[in-house]
Amino acid sequence: MFRKAKSVVGLDLGHQVVKAVEISMEGPEPVITGFARAEVSAGADRAEAITKVFQEGKFRSKSVVTAVSGQAVVVRYITMMQMNDAELRQAIRFESDKYLPFESDEVQIDCQRLTRKPHAPTEGAAAQEQMSVVIAACKKSAIEERIKEIAKNGLTPLAVDVDVFALANAWELCGLAEVAGEGGQERAIALVDVGASVTSINVLCGGETCFSREIGIGGQDMSQAVARRLGLENTEAEALKRDPQGREAEISRAIAPVLEDLVSELTLSLDYVENREGLRVEEILLSGGGVLAPGTVSFLEQATGRTTRTWNPLEGLRVAESRVNVQAMEACASSLAVAIGLASRACAQ
C-alpha cells in the first residue's frame, strides 16, 4: 500500500463535510499546497462531494490517504510480555480473537508497541518485562469501500488510516507535541475533535497515544437541539447556529443538554485513562467544526474542570499562497485536523 510520494492529499470523509488538504515536501519542510472542502448535502451521496473536492482542489498529487472510523474499526491498548516486533506480529495474528470482537479473516490488523511502559503491570510481572501495545483492526470491507471511493475519481490510494490517529499526527506535525511538562514531568493531554456526528478522543501521555475512543455525539445533535428548542426547521437551526446574529445566549442554552451528555462520556474516558496511566489529563485541546458553536469551549472547560482551548492545526505550517485560498482555509481551520494528519504522511515518504 505504501509508495513514495512527495505530495500527499489527506482526504477526510466527514459525515457532513468532505475536506482535503495537500501537503508537499519542499526539502525537509512540509508545505500546504492544496485545500478544498465540500458539504455533503442532506440525503445526497457523499461521492458528489468527493468529486467536487478534487475538481476544486487542483491538487498536484494523485496519491491520497484517507481514513476509516466508526464501528468498522476497533482500537485496543493492551499490555503484553516484552518481545521483538516480529514476535509481536505473530502473537497478534494468533491471539487477535482475545482482544478483538471480529473474526481475524474479515479484518486487517495492525499493531505497534508504545514507548511508554505499562503503569500497572499485570500481576506477577515486573513493568520492565512488559510492554504496552496498540492494536487497530478494521473490517476489510470498509477499507475496500474507501479504496473504491478514491479509485472512482482516478486517484491512487496510498494508505488507509484511522481518524483518531490522524488527529494525533496533525498535532505532532504542528510541532505542538510536548514530551515533558514543567519540571520534566510527563504530561497527559486529550485531543478532542467534535465533528458533525462523532467526537473523536485521543489522549497523549508524554506525546504518545495511550487511549482513544469515539463518542456518537456531535454538531448535528446540537443543531437538532436548537431546532427543537427554538421551533425551527433543521436547516434554519443549522444556519442560525453558525451565524447566531445576536442569539448566542439562546443557542448556548439550547445546546447545553447535548454538551452535558458529551461531557459525561468524556469524563468517563478521562477518569478511566487517568486511573490506568497514573497521570492527570491536564489539558483538553479541541478541534472539529462542532466546537465553533457558541459557548462550547467555556462549557467544556467548566464542566470538565480542565484547561480547555481550541488549537489551530494550520499553526506553524507554511502555505503556498499562490495555490490555496488561504482565507477560506483559515475560516474552517479547526475542522482540518484530521485531513492535515492524513496528509502528514508526505513527511514519512
Interface with ligand ATP by CB under 6 A: which residues? 14-17, 195-198, 218-220, 223, 238, 241-242, 288-290, 292-293, 335
Residue nearest to Mg ion (CB): 195
**Segment (H or E) for 287:** strand 281-287
Q: Distance (Å, rounded) from C-alpha 185 to C-alpha 75?
A: 27
Identify which of residues 207 and 290 has a Cβ nearer to ligand ATP in the complex.
Answer: 290
Decide which of ligand ATP, Mg ion, none touches 223; Cβ closer than 5 to 8 Å per partner kind. Answer: ligand ATP
Identify which of residues 99 and 311 has a Cβ nearer to Mg ion in the complex.
Answer: 311
Q: Distance (Å, rounded) from C-alpha 309 to C-alpha 284?
A: 7
User: How many residues of this chain interact with Mg ion, rule: CB under 5 A?
Assistant: 2
Q: Does 14 contact Mg ion by CB under 5 A? A: yes
Closest-CA residue to 263 (of 307, 311, 299): 299
* Cβ 328 to ligand ATP shortest distance, Å: 13
Q: Give the residue carrying C-alpha cell 482475545.
A: 98
Q: Does 218 contact Mg ion by CB under 5 A? A: no
* Cβ 319 to ligand ATP shortest distance, Å: 19
* Cβ 59 to ligand ATP shortest distance, Å: 19
| Helix 296-304 / helix 248-277 crossing angle, nearest 10 deg | 40
What value, to the nearest 5°, has the Cα angle with vertex 192 and ends 187 and 195? Answer: 170
Binding region for Mg ion (CB under 5 A) out of 10-18, 39-47, 215-223, 296-304 = 10-18
Cell of 325: 485560498
Q: Does 195 contact Mg ion by CB under 5 A? A: yes
| CB 168, CB 161: distance < 8 Å | no
* Footprint on this chain of Mg ion (rule: CB under 5 A): 14, 195
